[in-house]
Amino acid sequence: MADSEKLFAGEGQLFGGLSNEEELIEICPAEFKNGNAWSSYAMALFYEGANIKNWKWKLTDNKAKGHQLSCLKGLLGTFGIPHQDKLAIAGWMLSEMLNEIPEHIPVPKEAK
């Protein structure tokens, strides 16, 4: 199995995270660990959320896209790995999921 295939091979955990997140830390390409535009977008997702309607997916199958999104959400919700590793892997995931880095459209804050 290629390293990129392992990105979406883990199972979501009950309290967040992925079953293979430790392995993903080991195989994550250095270009994501040193910070890049994909990892920066992942950071915006983590802190602000996003409206994903403008995402241009590589896949067309809705079930497969849902699985990838579920893996991304599980990873972003983990407390089991260091934050910088979480964002690096999330950036890598996004680069495999999407054709281009989308404009970040934050989720509107609810009125209080």
Task: Tell me what pLDDT residue 112 has.
Answer: 46
3-state SS, residue 73? helix
pLDDT for 105 equals 86
**In this predicted model, what pLDDT tens digit does every residue of 73-95 receive, in sequence order?**
999 999 999 999 999 999 999 99
The length of the chain in residues reads 112
How far separated are the first and last CA of the chain, in Å rounded? 48
- pLDDT averaged over the chain? 91
Q: Which residues of 60-80 are buried (b: 16+ CB within 10 A; e: fewer)?
A: eeeeeeeebbebbebbbbbee
For helices 37-48 and 83-97, give the axis angle rounded to 10 degrees.
110
Amino acid occupying residue 105: I
Mean pLDDT across the stretch 95-111? 85
